[in-house]
Amino acid sequence: MKRFNIGRVLFVVLVATGSYAQVSSDRILHSAQEPQNWLTHHGNYNSQRYSMLSQIGPDNVKNLELQWLFQARSLEKFEATPLVVDGIMYSVQAPNDIVALDAATGRLFWTFLHSPE
């Protein structure tokens, strides 16, 4: 099985769909100004995986409820850190597909089905 870089494929898909211009290096550099987005694998260039959002805390975490669920089309094991850009969540599903979802509702916008070369 040929392995590939999912980041490279996601970059290609974002370029192909015209979404590339939305996430500039400057946006990632100043990601603290838009904490509702998760623009890179680690959240920002500092790679701290920390969100500045404060709506959830020790006093209200017990009140969280499931709002939506995405069912991947594969039973293979996979792990992913989704990116969130302007309300769209980009993630993966096994074996090597990319999905774009409405982050608020879970509605599927599109799926990029990777075909091996």
List, for residues 3-44, the tens digit of each pLDDT value.
445 555 455 445 445 544 478 999 999 999 999 999 998 988
List, for residues 53-111, the tens digit of each pLDDT value.
999 999 999 999 999 999 988 888 888 899 999 999 999 998 889 999 999 999 999 99
Q: Give the amino acid at 52.
A: M
pLDDT, residue 63, reads 97
Under 8 Å between Cβ of 32 and 44: yes
Q: Is 46 helix (H, G, I), strand (E, B) or coil?
A: coil
pTM for this structure?
0.75
In order of their start, the domains of the chain are 1-41+75-117 (2.40.10)
Query: For 99, left (φ over 0), alpha (ψ -120 to 50), or beta?
Result: beta
Cα–Cα dist 73/8, whole Å: 22
